[in-house]
Copies of this chain bind each other. A is one copy, B any other.
Amino acid sequence: MNERPLILVSNDDGYQAKGINCLVGVLREFGDVVVVAPHTGRSGKGCSITSEVPIKVTEISSEPGLKVYSCTGTPCDCVKVACHAFVPRRPDLIVGGINHGDNSAVNAHYSGTMGVVLEGCMKGIPSVAFSLCSHDPDADFTPTYDVIRRVVSVVLERGLPAGSCLNVNFPDTPKYAGVKICRQAIGSWVNEWEAHNHPRGGEWWWLTGEFVAEENDASADRVALDNNYVAITPTRIDFTDYTLLEEMKNWGL
């Protein structure tokens, strides 16, 4: 590569979050960085896109090797509009995070951080999401840096297969047991709502809940995290169930 790699960064906690700013610090060691991130928190936005209103992109700062924009859209919108108009050339890598919170197991479906990398993956660009299992706005991200460096270095060198991206989750501990290549854990959310009386009448429902792991297998990402491993879950944009596909050919539909 003659020029420095170009790395596009986004997240779902907003461009001012500590996690994305820590991430940018590490990524600048590897290349030029363009940040296009939500103007405010957009947690839980998954792969959602904004079609009902237009979005706005605002330049926040510009210095050699780093440009930062805020965007009123979702994490997916950020990647879409960045690739359309706010990167000088096709990025070599798209990175989401570092998310303030766990994106393992089924959380990957709700995650705006995963929205960033699924969108990047759909655009054929190697894409990696990083998340720390802590919702503390002032969480200590420094223990994650070494693994981030290793993953970014390997992905810049090898690329990723077409249609696949990485979901990397860090346990909230200063010392990791190691790095484990995992699959998405089986589990689900329960007790998801709290009803409250609205001051002007009627009930309003707040989303809350607890995640219940439904397995104990060491190769499941949520289980690896519980055992203090960094969990790397390779993730496909093709979520066809090929086993059921073959079976259903005999269902007479």
**Chain A residues in contact with chain B, CB under 8 A?**
41, 43-52, 54-57, 73-74, 76-77, 80-81, 84-85, 106, 108-110, 112, 115, 118, 122-124, 147, 150-151, 154, 158, 160-161, 163-164, 179, 181-184, 186, 188-189, 192-193, 195-196, 198, 202-207, 232-245, 248-249, 251-253
Contacts and interface: CB of A to CB of B under 8 A. Distances in A.
B251 A158 contact: yes
Number of chain copies forming the complex:
2
Contacts of A163: 186
A182 B245 contact: yes
The SS class assigned to the A binding surface is mixed
A248 B106 CA distance: 21
B238 A205 contact: no
B245 A234 contact: yes
A117 B253 CA distance: 20
Contacts of A164: 241, 244
Nearest to A202: B56
